[in-house]
Amino acid sequence: MKKLTLDIDEITDDFFADTRLLGIVVSAKNYRFCWQVNNVLAYNFRLEAELEIEMHKKGRKYYFPVYHYNEPPNFLHQYIYHNHYEGEFLLPEFRHMDFLWLMRGEPVEDEQCQQLVQALKTIPGVQLVAELTNEHIKNKGNLVL
């Protein structure tokens, strides 16, 4: 019997092709932050229960909510991940970031990304917004949906 193996590295590389990732530091709870994004920046992020990331560590389960937004007819999908849950982190290398904003599906130009960074900084409570480059992300697989 022949065994088939899944190439996680290839899946991760495909997932991250043409993506942009922002790290956000904000004092608000996840539902409050997404509400502010929707109201201040005119997005329509919704909590997607089926996208929630479940992680098993130290004999416990940790859940990281994921919010999704896509404006048809665009192929650009945007996700907001809550980066921490009860002392664990989705991306431990960015433990100081409260949220991760992932854009994928079509290329995002530098100017468009910078406009989003500036817009996010106008939301009350946002302390920092920074682009996170792929080469600095050690646990990319944790973001793959």
**Residue 8 confidence (pLDDT) above 80:** no
Alpha helices in the chain (DSSP H): 8-15, 30-41, 110-120
**Residue 4 confidence (pLDDT) above 70:** no
Whole-number Å distance between alpha carbons of 94 and 84:
10
User: How much is the pTM?
Assistant: 0.85
Convert the pLDDT of each residue in 27-37 to its tens digit. Answer: 888 889 999 99
For residue 47, what are its two tokens? 């909590």
Where exactly are the structural domains of the chain?
15-99+116-143
**Residue 5 confidence (pLDDT) above 80:** no
